[in-house]
Every structure is written in C-alpha cells, then in structure tokens.
Amino acid sequence: MRKAQRGPDTRTRAQTPPRGAPMPVIQIHLMEGRTTAQKQALMREVTRAAAETLGVSPQSVRILLQELQSGHFAVAGEPKYADHDPAATGHATQPETVTSN
C-alpha cells in the first residue's frame, strides 16, 4: 500500500509555533438571534482559519462564543437590538387606545 504524498512544507520558521506554544483561545461576542447551525459553522471556519494561519492543529484551537442579549450592547451610548427585537425598529408593541365617538 502506498502512502499518500504530501507537498513540501511551505511554512517558515516564523510560521511554525515553538514546541509547547500555548493553544490559541479565541473569544467571539455575537448578538443573539443566530441559529445553532450558523454558530457551529462559524466556529468550524474560525478553527480552520486559526489552525491554518497559526500552524497549529485544529484540536488545539479553543473558541469561546458569547451571545449578547439584545440591548446589552451599545455604540456611542445607544443600545443596539437584535433584528427580531421590536425595539430595534421602534415598533414596540404599545397598548391600543380605544376611543368612543
């Protein structure tokens, strides 16, 4: 049985992590509202990119995904809301006023 041939290792010494290098730990803060499938795909792709870029095995990459509750994030002091949050559009549900003629 023949072994699969691998191409030459094109990483330079600077690209190869030193022996015993700490594992990469990546923190991602994400507004709530993504599906489980989207979050899993994001973590897979970030792991792939980190492993390739840093020259480490995917098994050494750790990802911490933190979902931010709608309204718990602000830009210039103004809270931001997830798309599914009625406050995001300013159309929050208000009690209906009934008037008689």
Q: Which residues are catalytic?
A: 24
Q: Which residues, including other chains, have CB under 8 Å from residue 29's CB and lie 6 or more apart?
A: 66, 68, 73
**For the chain, how many residues are written?**
101
Closest CA to 24 of 66, 4, 53: 53
| Measured distance CA(24)–CA(26) in Å, rounded | 6
